[in-house]
Amino acid sequence: MFDYLKGTIIAKQINSYRGTHIVLEVNNIGYLINTGRSTIERIQEETNQIKIYVSLQHKEDIMSLTGFITREERDIFNILQSVSGIGVKLALLILDEFSISELVDIMIREDFKELSRAKGVGTKVAQKIILELKDKLINWSNVTPTDISDIQTIKEIEQDAIIEVQSVLISLGYSANEAKNAIKEVLNYKKEYTKTEDILKYALEYLSRNL
């Protein structure tokens, strides 16, 4: 229903009786948007106009919005909630603890001990999240390998790493062309990157700056 809202931050609250949230005024309407502590801390007081990517939650007779500064955070938030037992609060706590690239890297490496550092995430929950989400982030059967033939003088890069990065980017909502261009940009600029986590980290950074 909503992709993003663009307006003026009227209020920011951490751990109020309404929870951690912002109030965003858009065309004289104030939207109360739930969010995480890390998002609150990154919103500058002097910001006049800001774009907030939102996710709509609809439970019984209650509707609410949860918002993020980047599309990647919003999309990974939605993916986290697809795990049974992971609600808004726990998904936000995980995103407060880890950046998107760190979280995806944890999934790829299946490092449940690292994931359990997040508040409210025990070992069993961390194992469950990784078990259920890794295949959603990396769906090998539905991804066409990226054509990297026009990337100049690449060192040995496993095709599997390219496919894996492209898969994750597409699962986060980027188009195949956006993923392909980001990968090419990273590999042209930093030819020493040969590991999935390195390529993914800088591809996400490139996309966040250029989209």
Q: What is the CATH number of the domain that holds 100?
A: 1.10.150.20
Q: Give the bridge partners for 33, in sequence order.
A: 22, 65
Residue 63, domain extent: 4-68
| The pLDDT value given to residue 90 | 93
Instruction: Please write the tens of the pLDDT for every residue from 148-207.
Output: 666 554 555 666 777 778 888 887 778 888 888 888 888 877 666 667 777 888 888 888
Let me know: does 48 contact 7? Beta carbons within 8 Å: no
63 and 76 fall within a common domain = no
How many other CB atoms are found less than 10 A from the CB of residue 181?
A: 17
Task: Provide the strand spans (E) within the chain.
Answer: 4-16, 19-26, 29-34, 50-59, 62-68
Query: What's the rounded Cα separation, in Å, for the pair 25 and 46?
Result: 15
Let me know: does 160 contact 180? Beta carbons within 8 Å: no
109 and 169 fall within a common domain = no
Instruction: Please write the tens of the pLDDT for every residue from 68-90.
Output: 998 888 888 988 888 888 899 99
In terms of Cα–Cα distance, which of 119, 3, 103 is closest to 51? 3
43 and 93 fall within a common domain = no
In terms of Cα–Cα distance, which of 53, 76, 83, 75 is closest to 65? 53
131 and 148 fall within a common domain = no
When pLDDT is cut at 50, 70 and 90, the band that residue 6 belongs to is: very high
155 and 111 fall within a common domain = no
| The pLDDT value given to residue 70 | 87
203 and 145 fall within a common domain = yes
Instruction: Pull the structure tokens for residue 33.
Output: 């948007």
Buried b (16+ CB within 10 A) or exposed e, 87-98: ebebbbebbbbb
Query: What's the rounded Cα separation, in Å, for the pair 126 and 109?
Result: 13
